[in-house]
Structure 1
């Protein structure tokens, strides 16, 4: 695993990001907590100078099991324990929820879980699985986040489009009445259903936008541009990426029955962004790919804007 991944699991088939330790059956929240090795708590301790004078206004977040310092936070910071994140997701999604993966990054500073509700959506003839990602940090660097990531089942392409009329990500800070905030966050299920409904309408819209072959190549060159004063090596590398993308649009078996339209194009871009092997396979590539599950992929959103502009 990449250096920043501390612990992680997945069920049966490796997720699209390709990270984790395999387990053989779907897990309950308690089982997932143990499989991801997240069954530890965070405690807060006061911070002192060398002569033992307490520093006011700040606390140290410490992992109880090994006394590892996770971060220095203000004394207004409220801890959301790992078991609370699992319990929240369990209660939110209800009976039949399946935890696909969970783990920690950066020696416990950041944790996440990814869960799939039991139902699927049929959008434009495709089976789409809605995934809910819960992300939390223990180092004070980020908020509590819940995000929707729809995945096209047949090819494991993510369709986490940024839609103007429906939110995909919901956040709250580590301050105030955390139990009340998590209770308020249960509305995310309503928001998630709204997002999936709007995504379905957007897919139907993209299906109606016809894209001739020469436009596909123009869009591809726009999304994968040559740098100014490109060297021969850069030209070769960019052409390699363009050839890869072109094959994903024109030759992908799962798109054979899809017309030459915006939906086909966005799937080819998603396939490229989600699965293409990079020119330089760095140690953090798969980890960064997974993190874009939460934040969204700018290449996919840029392609979506291109499609709408052509309508």
Structure 2
């Protein structure tokens, strides 16, 4: 089977009236005209909107760090994600991975390991269901590199926090993805995927 490389392009959009937002986002589409810009807007991931304020310049610097826009990190992550795109993972394994990554505390992890599903909170159960729904239905999850792959599982979790989860406002979303709950869940998911790539399903036990 021939695997397609995962290429991510960064684009910035902004309005010229001073009232819109600056949007920084990764997209798998290279933008060269209005048509591809529209396609990129539909396929964007890791998107952040920053209001035109006095601190917008500083926010862009923070977004630069958040999105990992450094040559070294980009090359390292490209290698990792392309490797993950070749690792197959079943729906059952994806669910287990998501449950572990979304677990809010040790008690939930213990209930998960012992099969005490009735002890799960409704908040936890709903979050897991929403992540799995995004993972299964988002158009970006049906690409050759994401459908049924470890990279798709990782992309499903991060995509949920970036594109589905409701936040109080843009500031709250930015802080969560930058160094808050979303960041922590993404890091946990990354670590789980990295271990799965090395030892397989045993990473979930």
TM superposition score category, shorter chain reference = 0.5 to 0.7
SS in 2 for 1:21: coil
1:11 aligns with 2:9: no
For residues 159-218 of structure 1, give each alpha carbon's deviation from its aligned partner in whole angstroms, at most 9, with x where no partner exists.
x5xxxxxxx6xxxxxxxxxxxxxxxxxxxxxxx222222221121121122212211111
1:134 aligns with 2:20: no
For residues 29-48 of structure 1, give each alpha carbon's deviation from its aligned partner in whole angstroms, at most 9, with x where no partner exists.
xxxxxxxxxxxxxxxxxxxx
More strand by share: 1
Matches within 5 A, 1:197-208: 197-208=75-86
User: Does the 8 Å CA contact 1:223/1:303 hold for their aligned counterparts?
Assistant: yes
Matches within 5 A, 1:184-223: 192-223=70-101
Q: CA deviation at 1:292?
A: 4.5
Count residues in correspondence. Answer: 144
1:287 aligns with 2:171: yes
More helix by share: 2
Q: Alpha carbon RMSD of aligned pairs, Å?
A: 3.6
Match of 1:306 among 159, 175, 192: 192
Matches within 5 A, 1:92-241: 101=50, 103-104=52-53, 111-113=55-57, 133-135=60-62, 147=65, 149=67, 160=68, 192-225=70-103, 228=107, 235-241=121-127
What is the TM-score with the length of structure 2 in the denominator? 0.56
Name 2:138's counterpart in structure 1: 252
The answer for unaligned runs of 5 or more in structure 2 is 1-12, 23-48, 112-117, 198-205
Q: CA deviation at 1:148?
A: 5.4
Name 2:152's counterpart in structure 1: 264
What is the TM-score with the length of structure 1 in the denominator? 0.39
Larger radius of gyration: 1
Name 1:63's counterpart in structure 2: none
Change (3 A) 1:291 1:225: closer
The answer for unaligned runs of 5 or more in structure 1 is 1-9, 13-19, 25-99, 116-132, 136-144, 150-159, 161-167, 169-191
Q: CA deviation at 1:308?
A: 0.9
Name 2:163's counterpart in structure 1: 275
SS in 2 for 1:147: helix
In structure 2, how many angstroms separate the alpha carbons of the residues matched to 1:301 and 1:221? 14
Change (3 A) 1:198 1:247: same
